[in-house]
Structure 1
Amino acid sequence: MAANEKGYWGVTPPISVAASSPREREITTTLMEELRQQNTFETEEESRRREIVLGRVAALVRKFVRDVSISKGLSETAANAAGGKIFTFGSYRLGVHGPGSDIDTLCVVPKHVSREDFFTVFEPMVRATEGATEVSGVPDAFVPIIGAKISGISLDLLIAPIGMSAIPEDLSLTDNNVLKNLDESVVRSVNGTRLTDELLRLVPNVQVFRDALRCIKLWAQRKAIYSNVNGFLGGVAWAMLVARICQLYPNAVAGAIVARFFTIMSKWQWPQPVLLKQIEDGPLQVRVWNPKVYPSDRAHRMPIITPNYPSMCATHNVSASTLAILSEQIQHGADTVEKVIAGTATWSALFTKHTFFHTYRNYIQILALSRDPQAQIKWAGTVESRMRHLVMKLEFVDNLRLAHPFVKGFDRVVRCASEEEAARILQGQAPAEPDVEVGAPDDPEMPCKVYITAFFVGLAVRPKESPDAPPRRLDVSFSITEFVKMTKTESFDPAKMGIVLKHIRSTALPDYVFDPGEREAKVSRKRTKKSLGGKDEDGEGTPNKKPRLSTSSVA
């Protein structure tokens, strides 16, 4: 770690170089105690298991490269020397992972090993590995990926064929020249590792950065705003925001960094970009983030720019709706932390669970269905990767204030008495109400299964201009139709897969989206509120003035 040539970290001088106050040190101590109580640190046994699994994956990558090399005509000697190396990135490499966290793993291979080989050769090898479960490749994703779980450790595996005939053991990815002649998808994959290493280099105190980031990650997860794919912020973006605050307060302790994170971010004037260092074009012909040159860069609503070359916007998925939700949650966080500093609240108040399934009257339920559990992982991933497009289409619907996607799907199973019933469910011609969790015991009288992943989007209606205004109408049918067309790619097989979208009221939400006892407690409180003349979240005073909603229930 080192400051830049001007003597400080970042693109501007620090706001303060003063040491933290006794109160800030005190709240840092209580913060770390709370993080331990919230189970954000993994055990030593799990840490050792991660290292063992990574060693097995590294050996598997070398075998994969050797097998592909031989199949493409290389000699035994050349195939053995072709190598192959793995690099970790993301939360594991940053040192802020918790129990059950995925390990983002980049598989660097020689130029003669292709992306197609990754899915046709390496994916079956992973599936055949002892202790491997939930193996599924998503070749059509923005960054092609294989998800897997080995010995209980979840991994996201990416491939990067670089311009070398063999991968040396001491390969480093820090040199910009490693990006020469790589396509954009591979550059994105390689830059995951390059970015992680650069972040650790650009913060004045790595341990303070890690402690503060661990707090912000937990908060974002509890508030259901931790998801790049759904248009919120992923781990990389949250890490860059925390790193920027660390640059502005280089001598502050973690509690002070968290407090200043919320204070500064709640007042940030988006779309002013967050930069950790000056952007450079670099020596290669690779596109660099530049709003003066590229119109698409100017369109980013919440630009947070990666510091490594080529610089990219890590938040291009953020929409008008998700920016509004993020801004609201950050402001709530700022209010809570202010109380923590004043001593009128504890850190646990920052980590209370989201209220997504209690906030809206209207929801769109998206069901991704298939007949095979392995195919379901891939199909559900495809549907989820396109959810942000549904949100952006819904934003153009009259009378809709925002569309709020939930950040995860719910995996369930429908058990059917016959193949005919299962086929009708896939086509949306029969109710598809999941009755059991994945892995539930079989029922001899219901031998057929349909695997389902349910996603949800909350619909926030614009308030009425006056109490006497006529009922409003939400016509989301066009948005739904266009979304279904987008999800049904060439790999879609209607005999094995299905997608069903329908509008549901909050009272019809399935029980599995709530924690035990959560729904009953909320209903009891809401009845008390209504009896006192309170208004609901859409600004309606009485339940008989709900907006009319027009939608396609099946697509």
Structure 2
Amino acid sequence: MENEKGYLGVTPPISTSESTDREKDITATLMEELRRQNTFESEDEARTREIVLGRVAALVKAFVRQISLAHGFSETAAAAAGGKIFTFGSYRLGVHGPGSDIDTLCVVPKHVSREDFFDVFEKMLRDTEGVTEVSGVPDAYVPIIKMKISNIPIDFLMARLALSSIPEDLTLQDDNLLRNLDDRCIRSLGDEILRLVPNVAVFRDSLRCIKLWAQRRAIYSNVNGFLGGVAWAMLVARICQLYPNAIAGAIVSRFFIIMYQWSWPQPVLLKQIEEGPLQVRVWNPRLYPGDRSHRMPIITPAYPAMCATHNVTASTQMIMTEEFKKGADIVDKIIVGKANWEELFVKHDFFHKYRYYLQIIASTGDPALQLKWSGTVESRLRQLVMKLEFVDSLTLAHPFVKGFEQVSYCLTEEEVRLVAQGETNEAIQKHTKEDLEGKEGASTVYTTTFYIGLAIEAKQHNSHVGHSSTLPDNVFEPGERQPKPAQKKRPKPMKGSGKSNNTSPDLPATKKPRPSYTLPDSAAPPPYSFKPAENGHPPILSPTPLQHVDGTSGLPMYINGKGPGEIKSPQLPFGENVAVATGAGGP
């Protein structure tokens, strides 16, 4: 799908060179590692998914028929009302792995309401044979029903079209069908990514690698303020557009380096979006104060061009930037033969990284209610992180990407209280379901525990931070040693001054204090604009459109008074000079 200028995307390719022998070698080893990491599903599981989707399609038609009859439709008209499913996300893109969920969009006619979806359809799912773990979250940013059928997890979203019936041959390519949808329906729609990449096979192999890396590094979670599947897919697709003839190994190596160097206030776009109040407001947060929260704008190519990264916070952006840098360093070594792909997929160190953790526990006495309640709590964690970012003593609030579920059998009301507060002891953990029989006050408690790592800035000598107990064993994998509680020490005064140095036991145990972002004595020269720090956020130094990345110094920025060229930046592979347009076209 090339535009009138002969290339995909909103800017010309950086390079159209064919793959080198070295690129072919590292691509071969990459695919071997992906197979070793079990990222491809078996043929049996693939067939099971097809059968499950057939059952789901029939359920949606039955749901629409039932609602149509309730609205007074005749039997014939109710049967003709239709209803159709569309898959999207990793399954639609062809990059799902064993156990991955299927993102499914239920398209219904105009007389079927969202209330019907959560009241009637959710009940139908619960009553269907082979369906388990049904959980609807109607108040989430993207209203969703989660469930498993034949042990295949499925996420259901709903879109209501302005049609009296849904034809069998319906596609969502016509934007005119989508213009009358309400706001929450719009967020439910898929994308056109596969139509906008030069080579689908290369895109899929590259994205499979990036997804595995993001999951291992615990930065794959839209709900917790990181990037979700659509955003990661769009980033990889944009790199594929910039290198249309590159193969997977080359795409992955360039991905990390360009992402680390990218000036994120400039949006990522796969195609030119139509101009208008909504589109301009969404993808140009610099011009509209209400959209300044879009820190890493990645705009979906399907109508109406929504920002797929609205959840990103100051803390999660900083964490992802650090991971891009680490990834860039590793692939640089892979290119020259000093590392292998396995090192890119090393597991995160979240539960070894911080000295203090905030623990949020969602608990109920009913498994079905627990699914709803824990989902609701998880959907609110991002708001908590944003509030924490304004606490003066905190330099970083790092949410973990998933909750930890546990079932506890409590013999007394006191044990119930302890479990709900996260204070389970060894005695409670030894209780079994049989121990509860015939005991008054005994009950089963279902808990989901979420964690936020806290980096706390250096304290004065008379400051105090409350004691925090050690992390529970269930956050660690078998054989993984739990770190010993760190001994708190007073920071020693710097030599020759009465002030304390810039270290503190309250900072992450393995990290140096976060650098301060300051300009040198002289103002930043044009063509850069500088926005001073405000409301706890760091200052922003922004390049004007069409500023170039030369592969040597990266995008200009000042860190601790050092300007362009004074800070080492990852190099693009194979020695090429790269210019990345940072105007409306994105990276």
Q: Structures share a fold, TM > 0.5?
A: yes
- 1:316 maps onto 2:304 in alignment: no
The number of aligned residues is: 492
Q: Deviations over 1:248-303 (max 9, x none)?
A: 00000000000000111111112221121212137999975444764333442111
SS at match of 1:443: helix
- 2:331 is aligned to 337
- 2:24 is aligned to 25
- 1:451 is aligned to 446
Distance 1:278 1:504 in 2: 53
Q: Deviations over 1:223-249 (max 9, x none)?
A: 000001000111111111100100000
Seen in structure 2, the aligned counterparts of structure 1 residues 304 and 268 have a Cα distance that, compared at 3 Å, is same
> Residue type matched to 2:94 in 1?
G
Contact 1:422–1:448 (CA<8 Å) still a contact in 2?
Answer: no
Contact 1:65–1:83 (CA<8 Å) still a contact in 2?
Answer: yes
Distance 2:286 2:360 in 1: 39
- 1:156 is aligned to 155
Structure 1 residue 200: deviation in Å?
0.4
- 1:226 is aligned to 220
- 1:102 maps onto 2:101 in alignment: yes
RMSD: 2.7
- 1:256 is aligned to 250
Distance 1:66 1:232 in 2: 39
Contact 2:361–2:420 (CA<8 Å) still a contact in 1?
Answer: no
Contact 2:137–2:375 (CA<8 Å) still a contact in 1?
Answer: yes
SS at match of 2:435: coil
Distance 1:436 1:10 in 2: 58
Q: Deviations over 1:438-469 (max 9, x none)?
A: x97543467511100000000012246xxxx4
SS at match of 2:252: helix
State the TM-score, normalized to the length of structure 2: 0.79
Distance 1:425 1:380 in 2: 18
Percentage of pairs with the same residue: 66
Distance 1:368 1:146 in 2: 19
Distance 1:33 1:87 in 2: 32
Distance 2:302 2:133 in 1: 33
Seen in structure 2, the aligned counterparts of structure 1 residues 504 and 256 have a Cα distance that, compared at 3 Å, is farther
Contact 1:414–1:433 (CA<8 Å) still a contact in 2?
Answer: no
Match of 1:394 among 383, 388, 406: 388
- 1:43 is aligned to 42
Distance 2:408 2:4 in 1: 62
Contact 2:293–2:313 (CA<8 Å) still a contact in 1?
Answer: no
> Residue type matched to 2:385 in 1?
V
State the TM-score, normalized to the length of structure 1: 0.83
Match of 1:356 among 338, 341, 350: 350
SS at match of 1:140: coil
Q: Deviations over 1:301-331 (max 9, x none)?
A: 1111112221111111111101110000110
Counterparts of 1:70-469 in structure 2 under 5 Å? 70-189=69-188, 191=189, 193=190, 195=191, 198-281=192-275, 289-291=283-285, 294-418=288-412, 420-421=413-414, 424-425=417-418, 428=421, 431-432=423-424, 442-444=434-436, 447-463=442-458, 469=460
SS at match of 1:308: coil
SS at match of 1:106: strand
Between Structure 1 and Structure 2, the one with more helix by share is 1
Contact 2:333–2:339 (CA<8 Å) still a contact in 1?
Answer: yes
- 2:470 is aligned to 508
Distance 1:133 1:331 in 2: 41
SS at match of 2:147: strand
Match of 2:479 among 511, 517, 526: 517
Contact 2:227–2:309 (CA<8 Å) still a contact in 1?
Answer: yes
Contact 2:265–2:286 (CA<8 Å) still a contact in 1?
Answer: no
- 1:538 maps onto 2:507 in alignment: yes
Seen in structure 2, the aligned counterparts of structure 1 residues 394 and 35 have a Cα distance that, compared at 3 Å, is same
Contact 1:203–1:247 (CA<8 Å) still a contact in 2?
Answer: yes
SS at match of 2:405: strand
Contact 2:279–2:306 (CA<8 Å) still a contact in 1?
Answer: no
> Residue type matched to 1:455 in 2?
F
Contact 2:456–2:506 (CA<8 Å) still a contact in 1?
Answer: no
Contact 1:412–1:435 (CA<8 Å) still a contact in 2?
Answer: no
Contact 1:463–1:539 (CA<8 Å) still a contact in 2?
Answer: no
SS at match of 2:481: helix
SS at match of 2:17: coil
> Residue type matched to 1:101 in 2?
S
- 2:540 is aligned to none
Distance 2:248 2:374 in 1: 38
Greater Cα offset, 394-403 or 95-104: 394-403
SS at match of 1:49: helix
- 2:2 is aligned to 3
Seen in structure 2, the aligned counterparts of structure 1 residues 537 and 49 have a Cα distance that, compared at 3 Å, is farther
Structure 1 residue 417: deviation in Å?
1.1
Q: Deviations over 1:74-117 (max 9, x none)?
A: 11111010000000000000000000101000011111111111
Seen in structure 2, the aligned counterparts of structure 1 residues 283 and 173 have a Cα distance that, compared at 3 Å, is farther
Contact 1:434–1:452 (CA<8 Å) still a contact in 2?
Answer: no
Distance 1:77 1:83 in 2: 11
List 4+ stretches of structure 1 deviating above 3 A.
281-294, 420-428, 430-437, 439-447, 471-474, 534-537
Greater Cα offset, 281-290 or 311-320: 281-290
SS at match of 1:322: helix
Distance 2:195 2:146 in 1: 29
- 2:519 is aligned to none
- 1:470 maps onto 2:468 in alignment: no
Structure 1 spans left out of the alignment, 5+ residues: 475-502, 528-533, 542-555
Distance 2:175 2:427 in 1: 52
Seen in structure 2, the aligned counterparts of structure 1 residues 398 and 271 have a Cα distance that, compared at 3 Å, is same
SS at match of 1:61: helix
Contact 1:414–1:436 (CA<8 Å) still a contact in 2?
Answer: yes
Distance 1:435 1:240 in 2: 49
Q: Deviations over 1:466-521 (max 9, x none)?
A: xxx425456xxxxxxxxxxxxxxxxxxxxxxxxxxxx873x61000000112125x
